[in-house]
Amino acid sequence: MKRRKLGKFGPEVSAIGYGAMVLVQGMYGPVEDRQSVRTIQHVIDSGITMIDTADAYGGGHNEQLIGEAVKGRRDNVVLATKFGIVFDPAHPSTQLQTNWNVLPVNGKPDYVRHAIDGSLKRMDVDYIDLWYAHFPDPSTPIEETVSAMAEAVKAGKVKYLGLSNVTAEQLRRAHAVHPISAVQYEYSLWSRDAENELLPTARELGIGFVPWAPLGSGFLTGQVTNVEKDDFRSNLPRYQQENLQANYDRFEPFRSLAQQLNITPAQLALAWLLHQGDDIVPIPGSRNPAHIDSNAAAAEISLTKEQLQQIDSLIPGGLAVGESLL
């Protein structure tokens, strides 16, 4: 697997990482713990080095599974986790509205100090490689959140800091307090808002960019034509049946192009992201070992300038019907 440096300040990682949220019970359907641990081990075997989780995924259970899977191989993996979505009523939070749901968020220094120890304990590791604030707390200046995160770096509990779902302005302010290695945001062929301000700002500051939901939460694989009621996507605007059908039709040229290139739509979606800059490291999620291998192989695909232009004209930004997740 090709490698990339995550911005000027971050670690070297495989060009494609892995997002473990897909292993949360019920989110994308049923999962089983033993199988999930094997899936994460398969991810490492496939040459993927960066594994992304969050303390909010499965109420911390996702971190536990990852900790178990990396036992004995900790040094081969760049562990990335996030804090700040708070489901424990013992901790106060501020409600943050997204297009998907309302999230309880806390970025106050006391909570930041509390959160790092919880993640280390659940993963049973001495340090986290990359530690993100999951969402900015509307009631706490980002400088205060990042100052407290920097204490964890000083204490050796964390190697690199990241931010997720921030604005360009918040990223700039945070980076002035402590170097930020990576910013994580929704970015894919059907969600290109990041191109307006956040990606250019990250690039100017030398910060690596980690697109989340790089396969459009599955849509860009071309295999999703309906979702079950208990699948989290049934709450997303773009997955409402009418929108989903319209999107499926609108993205037909994309699927045809993948077929012409003799690659899968998922591979085309990932290869396109990798061609947007060598500071980009997508983190597709999958429960299926064959899909994981196929996604990893997308790092080897070269697209010509003409093919990239063709993608831009076939699938311009704003083509999708319905709001994105954020």
Ligand X SMILES: NC(=O)c1ccc[n+]([C@@H]2O[C@H](COP(=O)([O-])OP(=O)(O)OC[C@H]3O[C@@H](n4cnc5c(N)ncnc54)[C@H](OP(=O)(O)O)[C@@H]3O)[C@@H](O)[C@H]2O)c1
Question: Which residues are designated catalytic?
Answer: 57
CB of 211 to ligand X, least distance (A): 8
Closer Cβ to ligand X, 34 or 305, answer by number: 34
Binding of ligand X by 129 (CB under 6 A): no
Which uninterrupted H or E stretch holds 97?
strand 94-97
CB of 86 to ligand X, least distance (A): 14
Q: Which of residues 31-70 bind ligand X (CB under 6 A)?
A: 52
Closer Cβ to ligand X, 155 or 317, answer by number: 317
* Contact residue for ligand X among 213, 244, 271, 274 (CB under 6 A): 213
* Contact residue for ligand X among 11, 104, 136, 216 (CB under 6 A): 216
Q: What's the rounded Cα separation, in Å, for the pair 269 and 273?
A: 6
Among the listed ranges 66-74, 123-131, 197-205, 290-298, the one in contact with ligand X (CB under 6 A) is: 290-298
The answer to whether the beta carbons of residues 38 and 242 sit under 8 Å apart is no
Please name which of 193, 182, 228, 203 lies closest in space to residue 326, comparing C-alpha atoms: 193
Please name which of 46, 50, 56, 24 lies closest in space to residue 130, comparing C-alpha atoms: 50
* Contact residue for ligand X among 81, 170, 201, 286 (CB under 6 A): 286
Site map (CB under 6 A) of ligand X, residues 89-128, x = contact: ----------------------------------------
Among the listed ranges 7-15, 138-146, 190-198, 209-217, the one in contact with ligand X (CB under 6 A) is: 209-217
Please name which of 18, 317, 54 lies closest in space to residue 187, comparing C-alpha atoms: 317
* Contact residue for ligand X among 81, 145, 165, 170 (CB under 6 A): 165
- Cα–Cα separations (whole angstroms), residue 108 to 33, 83, 85, 305: 33, 11, 12, 46
CB of 306 to ligand X, least distance (A): 25
| 3-state SS class at 151 | helix
Binding of ligand X by 266 (CB under 6 A): yes
Amino acid identity at 80 = A
Residue, CB closest to ligand X: 19
Q: What's the rounded Cα separation, in Å, for the pair 39 and 205?
A: 35
The answer to whether the beta carbons of residues 232 and 27 sit under 8 Å apart is yes
* Contact residue for ligand X among 146, 199, 215, 311 (CB under 6 A): 215
Site map (CB under 6 A) of ligand X, residues 8-27, x = contact: -----------xxxx-----
Please name which of 154, 280, 158, 282 lies closest in space to residue 214, comparing C-alpha atoms: 282
Q: Give percent helix, percent strand, percent coil of the chain, each to the nearest 5.
A: 45, 15, 40
The answer to whether the beta carbons of residues 98 and 86 sit under 8 Å apart is no
Range list of H helices, 71-141: 109-123
Q: Which of residues 168-187 bind ligand X (CB under 6 A)?
A: 184
* Contact residue for ligand X among 128, 218, 273, 274 (CB under 6 A): 218
Q: What's the rounded Cα separation, in Å, for the pair 52 and 70?
A: 13
- DSSP assignment letter at 188: B
Closer Cβ to ligand X, 98 or 256, answer by number: 98
CB of 326 to ligand X, least distance (A): 8
CB of 63 to ligand X, least distance (A): 12
* Residues of the shown chain interacting with ligand X in the complex, contacts defined by CB under 6 A: 19-22, 28, 52, 164-165, 184, 212-218, 221, 223, 264, 266, 283-288, 291, 294-295
